[in-house]
Structures are given as C-alpha cells and as structure tokens.
C-alpha cells in the first residue's frame, strides 16, 4: 500500500479540525474560536490503495514569525515536506484566506485548495468560479463541506492526483517586475551560499521582509554579514522605488495579485449584506448591554448547571446509598464488604454522584465555545483585563475553559503571542474553579449551607476569580513587568451549535471524568481504605490507623484555618493527586455506604460552617492537581514554573483561608 | 478627509491610505488585510471604550485603539 502524507493548513476557524475528523473518523475537539488547535494533531485513514497520513496544523493568517502557531506550521512545511497540503479555505472570506495560500506557494508547497463553508458564501451572495481559480493558480480547487461529506471524493481524488504529479506553480505568482527582479537577485545570492533546506526564493522573500528567524539563520552562516548587507542594499533600493518598506511592498503585491484573482473568479454583490452575526453583535457587544449580557451569560451557565443538575444528582446518590446497603446486607460485616462498601462505593460513588452536574457544566461550556461567544467575551472584557488587571483580553478564553478543566485552559494560553502574558495567564488559570473541585463544594454546601447552596458555590467561583485578578496584578507589578501584547483577534461569525457537536464534546470531556473515577480514584480509594485499616487490628479509619497518623502529623498546619482535625488534613494530602479525591477520601474514611447522609453527618462533627467555608476556599486555591502541574511543566518546558505554582498557590490558599476563618471568627461567625 | 483609524466614529468607512510603523505586528496585520487601498469600516467600540471592531476584507477583527492609530484612513 502506498503512503501519502498530507497536512491540513489554513486560517484559524475555517473548519480544518472538522475536516480532519471527517477524513480520519477521529473526534478532535472542534470549537468556534480562532486558535483552538494549538498543536498539530495526527491521524491516518485508507482511501482505495492508499494509506493517507493526515496532520492537522494550527491555523494561521500568514507565515510570518509572529506567533508560535505560525512558526509550527511553516517549520512543518519546510522540514517534514508533506506530499500534499490541503489548504482549507473559508469561501465566505476568500480574499484574506488566499493570502496564506499565496505564502504557501512562495514556500513551494504542493497544494490542493478545499473551499469550505460554501453555504455562508452563498448567504453573502458570493459566487465562486472554482474552475477559473484553478486555471489562474495552477492548483486544484475543490468545493467541500467539512461538516458533511460533500466533495469528499473529489477532494481525495485531487490529493492522490497531485501527490503523483505535483502542481507546477512556478511563474504563477506575479509581484510585478521590480519586486520579482530583486527577489530573483537575492535568491541567487542565497543559492550561492547554499543556505538551509528551505526554498531559496522563499528565503529571499523572508530576508526582504526582515523575518527574524530567517535573519538569525543567515547570521550564523559563514557569509552571513555579507548577505545581510546585500539585503539592506536591496531594501534601500526598494524603499526608493516604492516609497515604503520592502515588507509593505510585498504585502501590497500579494494582495494586489489576490485582487486580480478575485476579480476574475468571484461574482459578489455591490454592498456587503448585513449578516445575522452583525444583528446579534449589535445587541451582544452593545455599548450599554455588552457587560450586563456577559455577566448574565456567566450567571446562567452556573445557574442552569446546578438547578437542572440537582434532581439527577439525587437519583445517583440514592442509587449508591441503596447499592451500599444491599451489598452490606448480602455480605454481612467483614473486611471484604468493608473494602467494597466503605472503600470503593464510598470513594468512587462519592465522586460519581457529581457526574450529572459536571456533564451539564461541560455542555454549557461547549455551547459557549461553539457559538462564537467566547471571542465576544474577550472583546467586551479586554479593556478591563488590560487596563485594570494587566492581563490580555485573550486571557479570558483560557480562564473560562479553566472552569471545565485547567489542562485545556493552560494549553489554550498558546493563543497569547506574548510570552509574559502567556506565563501570567498560566499561573492564574488554576484559580479558576475546575469541575473536579465542584464535588467538594457541592458536598460542603449541601451539608452546611442548605438554604443558600447555589449562592455559596457561586461565591467560591467569584472568590477564585478575585484571587486570580489580584495575583495577576501582583505578578504584573513584580515578575512580569512590561508591555503586554497588542489585542488582535478575529471575531468569527456566530454559528448555531449543533446538538450532535455539543453532545460529543460533553461526552468526551465528561467521559474523562468518569474514567478518572474508575481508575485513579478507584485505586486511591483502595489505597486509602488499606491505609485506614492498617496497622492490623486497628479500628477502621480511626486516628490510630496509618491514615489517621498521617493526617495527625500535618493537621496542626491547618488549625489556624479552622480545620485542624486529621480527616481534612489527610483528604487535602491525597487531594493533590486529583481534587475529587478530597470527597472520596471523606467517603472512604467516614464510610458512606451505610446510609446516604453518612458523610454529611460526620462532617458536622469535624467542621463548623465557618471552617467549612474556609476549607472550601482552601480546596479552591491550593496546589492544582497533578495533571495541571504536569501541563504547566510541558508548556513552559521547565520545572521552574510548575514548582513555583505549587508553592505560591499553597501560600495563597493558606493566607486566604486564614483571613476567612480568623476574620469570620472576629466578626462573630461560627 | 484623512483620519487615524482610532478617530473614526462607529459606522464610519473609508480606504486605508497609510500604515505607519514597522515590525512583526504590522506585517501580521498586513497579512490580515490592512494594506493600502483596502476598504475599512469601524463597526463599533467595545462597551468600555476599547478595543474597536473593524470590518475589513469581508470579516470582523478586533484591535486596540493603540494599534489602530498607526493606520490612516481616507474617510468617505
């Protein structure tokens, strides 16, 4: 079987991931905000006699060296030399999309154009003659619809054909005589010096554009200084001719070339039609309504999650209570039934109870993400984030995703172009209360604040945001001094989230939660049960057990925070692995199996309501889970930031809980 | 009349006549369509007064006024 290596490239948010999923049958995450695919993803599928390997590249507007995504994409094209690049294009946005195409042609890529989203193009009354485009560019142009299978056969045919007989696109690009001559001239100099593996004409263009990476590469070569002085000379000459910098002249020339293409191949209406998105934005980002709507949407997200989730949660709770009692009834009281009922059902069941609300939370976040609202939230909040907090409007997206899970939140910081902004956002995302912490609040709020459950939980979320903002302020004044990056972000058209899409996302993310309950939390529940039963003959989960001794050893640290008993101490210790474990530890040591209210009753012996609130705040703020720390390590490629995160979050957690408990006591709360 | 892009009122349109400055960001924005002769519209200002939403080449993009002031527009 023959192998064909293809890569999907294109502007952000044009449907590359959707096409990737359609081709490979995989289920990569798809969302409606630019910059979602932060690292390249790979897959493979069969087509006739071919095995086609696909790489989904992050979205780019151009191949300059402005952001990490751009560098990842162009390095891939230069170094890996895929057989075919499928350039996915938003047909409703042809002009800007073709700018990248032109740059990939400069790079000598072997391209197939996949015109996607033709529906939106027809809504805008654009009529694209793909055959004319093909003749002008020398590149096959296929109309597809990534979301169904329209055009799939044609696309695959074109891919195979082009892989056999690469496009000949030399001399297609026309930047005018003056520019072409000088590119040619510089190209010859590059060739004489046999620089790197990239095409010489592309190197010449990038040198003229002052591309920092290419200049660095050239600087290191033997003849580097001479080449760069040649570049300077040509740039000066072009400045005299065009009255503008070479990079500007090149951008003008590219857009000029594209304007010619469009004129020949697209029929468009005289005036831009006012789109549905525009009508929505008139309300959603309105001067007076923008911020109230943002707050309302955030509030509704949580309100719906909890009110709709509550009855389902009760059903699951009742089920585990019944299961525990039934098993205890059948097996009687012995060590094995204790392992099953106290250890496993107490631990794993204690966490699974929260599956309904966690699924709902993910569903709400998926809807926000797929609709295109997140980009508007960044637009509305940028000034606040920028001027007051010193963050970046785009920091908002990682922060909101952090409510679901901090791992994707931290990965999404890659859309921030400035390294300082990115690190800063990474450090505060863990304060966004992720879904794994929800079981802890839900348990404590139900046990201590029955009448105000919703408000108490909401206040914890707000507390997390306030701490995040305060810490950002402090960091910005100390370790991350300096300017933040400009705010340049596309506002994609709103799209109606599909039920299927939203359910798939919800299931994928929710499934991970269940899987974690079945693996890590299951294993830890057994470990905690064992530790609670040792040494031999000790009363189960008493202070004399290993668990009890561990907890007793570290408990004094927490005494000033209002929970100096050994049980909360040990649950926090295990909770570092995953925050749900705080709940499963209580479940295991208090033995929830006997009856439903078990944990709650037992909690009242250990905590006062004030101490319970202080504990919730501590769980919110202290060391993010293992997975988050590991992600920070991977994303920063050093141990410095993950270790810093562990230390500073713990200090912050202790300080905040101290203020809550001691302050609350002074004010006369108990 | 030539105005800086950040001085346009919501709903005003024009044609880009010059783009001041240098560097990566300028190159990036040029890639997104901010080139001489392009039709441009300031759609709206964010509720807190910054950033602004710009309509160019048939799509919407958000910029801060800080960046917008480098772009000069011949207002229609």
Report pLDDT digits (tens) over A614-632. 999 999 999 888 778 888 8
Residue A521 has pLDDT above 80, yes or no: no
The pLDDT assigned to A593 comes to 47
At A14-69, the pLDDT tens digits run: 888 889 888 888 766 555 555 555 566 788 899 989 999 998 888 888 888 777 77
The pLDDT assigned to A28 comes to 63
Check if the beta carbon of residue A446 is closer than 8 Å to that of residue A453. yes
Identify from A248, A268, A284, A288 which residue to disrupt to test chain B contact, counting B C-beta atoms within 10 A and taking the largest count: A248
Q: Please, which pLDDT band fits residue A9 given cuts at 50, 70 and 90? A: very high
Residue A588 has pLDDT above 90, yes or no: no
ipTM of the complex in this document: 0.93
Window 370-399 of A: residues touching B by CB (8 A cutoff) are: 375, 378-380, 382-384, 386-387, 393
CA-based nearest distance A96→chain B, Å? 6
Q: Which residues of A touch B45 (CB under 8 A)?
A: 287
SS3 string, A9-57, reads EECCCCCHHHHHHHHHCCCCCCCCCCCCCCCCEEEEEEECCEEEEEEEC
Check if the beta carbon of residue A583 is closer than 8 Å to that of residue A349. no
Check if the beta carbon of residue A374 is closer than 8 Å to that of residue A315. no
Closest CA to A54 of A5, A19, A112, A3: A5
Collapse the DSSP code of A141 into the 3-class scheme (helix H, G, I; strand E, B; otherwise coil) and give the result.
strand
Could you state, in order of their start, the residue ranges of all structural domains in chain A?
Answer: 2-164, 177-247, 292-666
Fold held by A2-164: Rossmann fold (3.40.50)
A247 part of contact set with chain B, CB < 8 Å: yes
Question: Which residue is it, tokens 């590991």?
Answer: A630
The pLDDT assigned to B62 comes to 93
**A323 vs A319: CA distance, rounded Å:** 6
Question: Which residue is it, tokens 């108990």?
Answer: A670
A325 part of contact set with chain B, CB < 8 Å: no
A248 part of contact set with chain B, CB < 8 Å: yes
Q: Which residues of A touch B60 (CB under 8 A)?
A: 277, 281, 490-491
Buried b (16+ CB within 10 A) or exposed e, A242-252: bebbbbbbbbb
**A261 vs A99: CA distance, rounded Å:** 11
Least confident of A196-205, A304-313, A344-353, A568-577: A344-353
Q: Which two tokens stand for residue A151?
A: 């055009």
State chain B's mean pLDDT as an integer.
90
The pLDDT assigned to A495 comes to 83
CA of residue A182 relative to chain centroid, distance: 43
The pLDDT assigned to B8 comes to 92
CA-based nearest distance A175→chain B, Å? 15
Alpha helices by DSSP H, listed for A145-275, are 152-164, 177-192, 200-208, 212-219, 224-242, 246-265
pLDDT (mean) for A391-397: 81
Q: Splitting chain B (76 residues) into consecutive groups of 10 residues, what average pLDDT does each group show?
A: 92 92 84 91 91 91 91 91
CATH number of B2-75: 2.30.30.90
| Integer CA distances (angstroms), A488 to A31, A96, A472, A508, B47, in order | 19, 15, 21, 31, 17
Q: Do B51 and A251 touch (CB under 8 A)?
A: no
Select the more confidently predicted residue: A305 or A278. Answer: A278
At A331-341, the pLDDT tens digits run: 777 777 777 77
Q: Is the dihedral of CA A28, A32, A36, A42 positive or negative?
A: positive
CA of residue A570 relative to chain centroid, distance: 32
State chain A's mean pLDDT as an integer.
84
Residue A171 has pLDDT above 90, yes or no: no
Select the more confidently predicted residue: A555 or A337. Answer: A555
**A216 vs A212: CA distance, rounded Å:** 6
Window 504-533 of A: residues touching B by CB (8 A cutoff) are: none
Q: Do B64 and A61 touch (CB under 8 A)?
A: no
φ, ψ of residue A9 to 5 degrees: the values are -130, 160
At A217-257, the pLDDT tens digits run: 888 888 888 889 999 999 999 999 888 889 899 999 999 99
Closest CA to A347 of A570, A541, A584: A584
pLDDT (mean) for A367-392: 84
Length, in residues, of chain B:
76
CATH number of A177-247: 1.10.287
Length, in residues, of chain A:
670
The pLDDT assigned to A233 comes to 93
CA-based nearest distance A236→chain B, Å? 15
Could you state, in order of their start, the residue ranges of all structural domains in chain B?
Answer: 2-75
Collapse the DSSP code of B73 into the 3-class scheme (helix H, G, I; strand E, B; otherwise coil) and give the result.
strand
Alpha helices by DSSP H, listed for A266-334, are 276-284, 290-331
The pLDDT assigned to B6 comes to 92
At A143-162, the pLDDT tens digits run: 999 888 889 999 999 999 99
Residue ranges with strand state E in A23-66: 41-47, 50-56
Check if the beta carbon of residue A629 is closer than 8 Å to that of residue A361. no
Q: Do B27 and A251 touch (CB under 8 A)?
A: yes
The pLDDT assigned to A298 comes to 80
The pLDDT assigned to B61 comes to 93
In this complex, which of A64, A486, A490 lies closest to B60 when CB atoms are compared?
A490
Q: Please, which pLDDT band fits residue A590 given cuts at 50, 70 and 90? A: confident
Bridge partners, residue B62, by sequence:
A489, B53
Closest CA to B30 of A397, A389, A250, A654: A250
Least confident of A199-208, A340-349, A562-571: A340-349
CA-based nearest distance B61→chain A, Å? 4
The pLDDT assigned to A194 comes to 66
């Amino acid at each position: 079987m023959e192998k064909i290596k293809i890569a999907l490239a294109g502007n952000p948010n044009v449907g590359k991931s959707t096409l990737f999923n359609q081709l490979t049958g995989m289920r990569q995450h798809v969302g409606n905000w630019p910059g979602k695919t932060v690292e390249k993803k790979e897959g493979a599928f069969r087509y006739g006699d071919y095995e086609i390997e696909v790489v989904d590249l992050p979205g780019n507007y151009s191949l300059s060296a402005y952001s990490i995504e751009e560098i990842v994409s162009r390095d891939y094209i230069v170094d890996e030399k895929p057989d075919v690049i499928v350039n996915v294009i938003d047909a409703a946005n042809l002009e800007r999309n073709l700018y990248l195409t032109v740059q990939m042609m400069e790079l000598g890529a072997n391209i197939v154009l996949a015109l996607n989203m033709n529906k939106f193009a027809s809504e805008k009354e654009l009529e694209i003659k793909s055959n004319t485009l093909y003749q002008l560019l020398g590149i096959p142009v296929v109309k597809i619809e990534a979301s169904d299978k329209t055009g799939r056969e044609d696309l695959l045919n074109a891919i195979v054909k082009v892989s056999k007989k690469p496009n000949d696109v030399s001399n297609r690009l026309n930047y005018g005589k003056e520019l072409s001559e000088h590119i040619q001239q510089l190209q010859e100099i590059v060739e004489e010096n046999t620089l790197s593996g990239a095409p010489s004409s592309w190197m010449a263009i990038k040198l003229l554009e002052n591309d920092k990476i290419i200049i660095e590469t050239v600087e290191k070569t033997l003849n580097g200084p001479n080449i760069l002085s040649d570049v300077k000379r040509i740039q000066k000459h072009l400045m005299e001719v065009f009255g503008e910098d070479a990079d500007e002249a090149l951008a003008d020339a590219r857009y000029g070339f594209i304007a010619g293409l469009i004129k020949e191949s697209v029929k468009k209406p005289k005036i831009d039609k006012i789109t549905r998105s525009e009508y929505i934005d008139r309300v959603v980002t309105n001067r007076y309504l923008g911020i109230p709507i943002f707050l309302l949407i955030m509030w509704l997200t949580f309100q719906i999650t909890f009110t709709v989730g509550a009855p389902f949660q009760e059903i699951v709770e009742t089920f585990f209570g019944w299961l525990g009692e039934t098993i205890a009834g059948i097996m009687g009281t012995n060590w094995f039934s204790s392992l099953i009922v106290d250890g496993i059902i107490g631990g794993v069941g204690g966490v699974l109870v929260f599956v309904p609300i966690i699924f709902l939370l993910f569903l709400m976040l998926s809807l926000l993400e797929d609709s295109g609202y997140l980009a508007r939230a960044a637009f509305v909040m940028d000034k606040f984030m920028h001027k007051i907090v010193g963050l970046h409007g785009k920091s908002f997206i990682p922060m909101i995703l952090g409510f679901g899970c901090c791992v994707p939140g931290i990965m999404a910081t890659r859309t921030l172009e400035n390294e300082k902004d990115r690190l800063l956002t990474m450090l505060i995302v863990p304060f966004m209360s992720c879904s794994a912490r929800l079981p802890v609040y839900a348990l404590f709020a139900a046990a201590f604040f029955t009448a105000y459950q919703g408000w108490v939980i909401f206040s914890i979320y707000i507390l997390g945001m306030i701490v995040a903002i305060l810490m950002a302020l402090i960091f910005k004044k100390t370790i991350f001094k300096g300017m933040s990056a400009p705010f340049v972000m596309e506002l994609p058209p709103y799209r109606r989230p599909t039920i299927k899409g939203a359910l798939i996302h919800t299931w994928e993310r929710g499934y991970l939660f269940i899987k974690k309950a079945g693996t890590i939390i299951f294993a830890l529940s057994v470990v905690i049960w064992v530790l609670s039963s040792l040494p031999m003959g000790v009363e189960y989960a008493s202070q004399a057990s290993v668990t009890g001794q561990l907890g007793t050893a570290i408990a004094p640290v927490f005494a000033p925070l209002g929970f100096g008993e050994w049980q909360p101490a040990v649950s926090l210790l295990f909770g570092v692995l995953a925050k749900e474990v705080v709940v499963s530890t209580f479940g295991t040591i208090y033995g929830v199996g006997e009856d439903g209210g078990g944990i709650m009753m037992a909690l009242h012996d250990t905590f006062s309501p004030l101490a319970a609130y202080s504990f919730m705040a501590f769980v919110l703020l202290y060391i993010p889970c293992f997975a988050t720390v590991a992600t920070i390590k991977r994303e920063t490629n050093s141990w410095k930031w993950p270790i810093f995160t562990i230390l500073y979050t713990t200090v912050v957690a202790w300080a905040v809980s101290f203020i809550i408990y001691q302050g609350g006591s002074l004010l006369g709360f108990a | 009349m030539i105005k800086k892009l950040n001085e346009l009122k919501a709903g005003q349109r024009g044609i880009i006549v010059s783009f001041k400055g240098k560097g990566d960001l300028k190159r990036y924005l040029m890639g997104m369509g901010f080139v001489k002769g392009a039709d441009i519209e300031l759609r709206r200002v964010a509720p807190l007064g910054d950033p602004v939403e710009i309509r160019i080449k048939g799509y919407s993009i958000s910029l801060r006024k800080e960046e917008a002031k480098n772009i000069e527009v011949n207002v229609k």
